[in-house]
Chain A
Amino acid sequence: MGNSDLFAQEKAGINPKRLVDHKIAVVGVAPIINKDVGIHHLTTRQLIAVFTGKIRNWRQVGGRNLAITLINRTQGSGTRMTFEKYGLRDRQSAVAQEQDSSGTVRQIVSSTPGAVSYVSFGYINKTVQPVSIDGVAPTENNVKSNRWKIWSYEHIYTNGQPTGLTKKFLDYLQNDHIQKTLFNKLGYISVKDMQYQRTWRGKLSKGSGVA
């Protein structure tokens, strides 16, 4: 079994023919800002300007006079691809410092004045300020209704159809009890609660998904 934040088709160099996709959960990605900056929302245009380096100071979007310290995720990271595809509308973020682990990113954002980055919902806590985009707050319900567009599936890929212990484990992960208790506590959303589904090309279709 292999875990992935992306569809196999989205990553170059992988042959997706024999892989069977199991969508286990849905995770939302939100931008987070250091609390000293003082803003709670941005428009998409402002978000793109911040992350592509066109704006260098928070004062230009209504925050305090602090230089923007951009913290990216490493190239090839699933969170980064999701954020750039659905949050920055396929724009590439500026070359800036990169960190790999979500925990490190959150710690850096919380302790560096003017820092901004993005993490999945489960990592947002009181030490950082999540940002609403275009008036939509990064909450679970907004992801379910696709008002918050920056989300992706958590995939588990198997080579062919799963059998034996693998199949039992996947059934266990996908049953309602685990999805409602453990996954919810960690900040993930059940695929069955989504009102829209998305293909790897980004095409939306209505209906709750059954993996």
Chain B
Amino acid sequence: MQNQKLAKQLFKKSKTARYERFGRLLCFSALVMIMAIVIGIIVFIATKGMSTFLKDHISVRDFFTGTLWNPGTKTPSGHAAVGALPMIVGSFLVTILAAIISTPFAIGTAVYMTEISPKRGAKILQPVTELLVGIPSVVYGFIGLSVVVPFVRNVFGGSGFGILSGTFVLFVMILPTIVSMTVDSLKSVPTYYRQASQALGATKWQTIWKVVLRAATPGILTAIVFGMARAFGEALAVQMVIGNASLMPHNLISPASTLTSVLTAGMGNTVMGSLQNDALWSLALVLLVMSLFFNLLVHFIGRKGAFSK
């Protein structure tokens, strides 16, 4: 009798072991739920986006090289007017220009904050940067519509809507992102690099320019790519200043459109299942693929430039 009771006790898990198992199960189920959501989103966008090509029989070439966006109608030459090229070009132009303009400012600000006057930098610039990050994008868009567009119209001509206005708005929006990540990567350059450089007789600026920035380059590149990813995906602020004309942008001050602006503008006016709706899903698929690409790029740069201590 005693033996049987003992045997049963030996084969049952102890209370602490059961707690372990429960904790692990809890974490695992959280992980499974998140993975299910992410995979669900990717599968949903992929199937809806591909249905433009599979169900509505739009050719992939028409989509990526066509220049007229009016799903449901035909171009003068007979192809389906589902050309996403103007939007793709618009998105890329606005992203790259904003990154080019904001990178020097961001690096300069970050260098000031970490190398030249760290104490004042931390006290003043850090809260300012965080404030800029926290402003909602619709507020940026509203300021863009009320201030930037008239400014561009008076200084550069045109209607004020266009890639230039979009660039100005995005420049302010991605600046804090790039600044904070550059500051992190500058701070992670080991102190003995700077000390060794000064021991060799270099001035402060020579140290910064030739040693610190050189060493922090992978981190800075990561910051720029992060900023570009944010600019590429920005919808609301860009939509209010870019003019939403689905034309190939032929200069910086004529109304253009980006993938995101066409999506937000057209979302409410299409019927689920129609060609217009499927075409919008294809734009969403392109955006998803581009964000995955930016993600992979960040990982690749990070891995390549990792410090081998």
Contact = CB atoms under 8 A, between A and B. Distances in A.
Interface of A: 11-14, 69, 74-77, 92, 95-100, 104, 107, 111-112, 115
Contacts of B150: 111
Interface stretch (B104-112, B209-217, B268-276): B268-276
B270 A112 contact: no
Contact of A74 (B153, B159, B266, B271): B266
A97 B273 contact: no
Contact of B266 (A76, A107, A115): A76
B255 A97 contact: yes
Q: Identify the interface centre among B70, B150, B269: most chain A CB within 10 Å of its CB.
A: B269
Contact of B159 (A12, A75, A77, A112): A112
B160 interface: yes
B161 interface: yes
B162 to A, nearest CB: 9
A111 B219 CA distance: 44
A188 B290 CA distance: 45
A104 B145 contact: yes
B245 interface: yes
B245 A96 contact: yes
Given A75-B276, A112-B153, A115-B159, A99 B244 contact: yes
Q: Is the interface of A mostly helix, strand, loop or mixed?
A: loop
A98 B265 contact: yes
Given A112-B160, A115-B159, A95 B246 contact: yes
B135 to A, nearest CB: 20
Contacts of A100: 265, 268
Nearest to A92: B73
Given A76-B266, A111-B150, A97 B271 contact: no
A14 B271 contact: yes
Contact of A77 (B240, B246, B269, B271): B269
B74 to A, nearest CB: 12
Interface in B30-80: 68, 70, 72-73
A12 B73 CA distance: 13
A25 to B, nearest CB: 20
Nearest to B159: A69
3 tightest Cβ-Cβ pairs between the two chains A and B: A76-B269, A97-B255, A97-B243
Contacts of B243: 97-98
B269 A95 contact: no
Interface in B245-263: 245-247, 255
A115 B73 CA distance: 27
Interface string B257-299: 0000000011011111110110000000000000000000000
A13 B269 contact: no
Contacts of A69: 159
A97 B244 contact: yes
Nearest to B270: A76
A75 B263 CA distance: 12
Contacts of A115: 159
7 contacts: A12-B72, A13-B273, A74-B244, A95-B246, A96-B255, A97-B243, A98-B265
Given A13-B274, A75-B276, A115-B159, A95 B266 contact: no
A100 B145 CA distance: 14
A69 B157 CA distance: 12
A111 B147 CA distance: 12
Contacts of A99: 244, 265
Contacts of A14: 271
Contacts of B271: 11-14
Nearest to B271: A13
A99 B272 CA distance: 22
Nearest to B264: A100
B266 to A, nearest CB: 6
Contacts of B246: 95, 98
A106 B1 CA distance: 91
